[in-house]
């Protein structure tokens, strides 16, 4: 679930105190590269984003949406301007930014997409053009939650969207040729879930703590990352990252023990420690031959404020992703002053 702690506008630019440089405060970070510049997009008012030349020093670039998406209030009547959990992909010379709107604790949710030729806000070609809603979830009709989109192209170049939070887990469907709606005829897959009590009321998210899918293709496999546990609860946060893999994009995604993620499987990638708790909602990329895992983590020593983490992702002898938890401390983002 995306709890009320997502009201993070006041803390986006807050970081470690004292002599330490201010770090970048984000939830649910995703990254793309345009030219020689990296961009991180995150949950926040209108979708907050930052630019960097080195993935360490980040300059705030404002927000993607100056006004709320026109469809947002219809899909989520309690929508308050905070847009959740974006994903950014490049396709045919354009950038597609997927995003979600929702009501707190409800599956009154929808996911949309907006398109731009460039991510550089100083370019004359910079203009986001919203394509509207991709899908929505409706309480009483759906036992899934239309948030946390993540989009990937398969080997044939077809687009697929994974998404989901709590309820009956993480879903996957094929996108149409424009990557703006489900392909017809629609065929949906459950790719990961956790146990939901049999008689849990439909309107309840239930204790099936899973969300934030991200599929990454590497070495002949599709790797499905997911976040288990609770985010956004300061010292009580239990967020952590698990993974499974499949030869087919539709699954089944099996963990290291061969257990299907759709039946509760998932192998640990990284979890919190004394200094950093509640880490997750990751994305994964290859930039210039370097594989990285991008996520947020709460810093114990800074009142559990959310911080950006970019970790090197290695691969063990069996082809499973490995990250070094020591990088949670060694990677320190730096928030630069806003400016041209």
Q: Which of 211, 255, 260, 299 is catalytic?
A: 211
Q: Which parts are annotated binding residues?
A: 28, 105, 145-148, 165-167
Closest CA to 244 of 232, 258, 234: 258
Active site residue 125: no
Bridge partners of 94, per DSSP, are 91
Distance CA 159, CA 111 (A): 15
Q: Which of 28, 87, 255, 260 is catalytic?
A: 28
Cis peptide before 185 (omega within 30 of 0): yes
| Confidence (pTM) | 0.93
What tokens does 200 get?
A: 């849990």
Q: What is the mean pLDDT of the chain?
A: 93
- Judge whether residue 6 has pLDDT over 80: no
Within 13 Å of residue 277, how many CA atoms lie on the same side as its CB?
17
Closest CA to 2 of 111, 149, 143, 102: 102
Domain positions in the chain are: 27-335
- Judge whether residue 306 has pLDDT over 80: yes
- Judge whether residue 21 has pLDDT over 90: no
Active site residue 203: no
**pLDDT, tens digit (0-9, with 9 covering 90-100), for 260-281:** 999 999 999 999 999 999 999 9
Helix (H, G, I), strand (E, B) or coil at 4: helix
pLDDT band at 20 (very low <50, low <70, confident <90, very high): low
Tell me the CATH number of domain 27-335, given options 3.30.9.10, 2.115.10.20, 1.10.510.10, 3.40.30.10: 2.115.10.20
Task: Region of 316 please: left (phi>0), alpha (psi -120 to 50) or beta.
Answer: beta
Q: Which parts are annotated binding residues for substrate?
A: 28, 105, 145-148, 165-167
């Amino acid at each position: 679930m995306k709890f009320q702690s997502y009201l993070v506008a006041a803390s986006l630019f807050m970081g470690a105190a004292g002599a330490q440089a201010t770090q970048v405060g984000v939830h649910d970070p995703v990254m793309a590269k345009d030219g020689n510049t990296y961009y991180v997009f995150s949950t926040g008012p209108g979708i907050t984003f930052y630019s960097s030349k080195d993935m360490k020093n980040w300059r705030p670039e404002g927000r993607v949406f100056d006004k709320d998406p026109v469809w947002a209030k219809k899909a989520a009547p309690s929508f308050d301007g905070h847009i959740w959990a974006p994903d950014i992909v490049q396709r045919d010379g354009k950038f597609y930014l997927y995003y979600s709107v929702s009501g707190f604790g409800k599956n009154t949710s929808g996911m949309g997409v907006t398109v731009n030729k460039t991510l550089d806000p100083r370019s004359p070609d910079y203009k986001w053009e919203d394509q509207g809603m991709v899908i929505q979830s409706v309480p009483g009709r759906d036992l899934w939650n239309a948030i946390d989109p993540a989009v990937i192209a398969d080997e044939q170049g077809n687009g697929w969207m994974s998404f989901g939070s709590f309820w009956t887990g993480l879903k996957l469907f094929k996108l149409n040729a424009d990557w703006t709606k489900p392909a017809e005829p629609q065929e949906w897959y459950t790719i990961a879930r956790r146990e939901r009590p049999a008689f849990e009321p439909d309107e309840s998210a239930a204790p099936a703590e899973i969300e934030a899918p991200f599929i990454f293709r590497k070495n002949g496999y599709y790797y499905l990352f997911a976040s288990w546990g609770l985010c956004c609860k300061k010292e009580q946060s239990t967020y952590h990252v698990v993974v499974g893999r499949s030869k087919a994009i539709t699954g089944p995604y099996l963990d290291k023990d061969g257990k299907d993620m759709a039946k509760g499987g998932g192998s640990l990638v990284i979890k919190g420690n004394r200094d950093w708790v509640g880490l997750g909602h990751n994305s994964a990329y290859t930039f210039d031959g370097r594989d990285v895992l991008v996520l947020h983590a709460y810093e114990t020593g800074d009142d559990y404020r959310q911080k950006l983490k970019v970790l090197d992702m290695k691969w063990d002898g069996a082809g499973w992703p490995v990250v070094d938890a020591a990088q949670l401390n060694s990677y320190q983002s730096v928030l630069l002053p806003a400016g041209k």
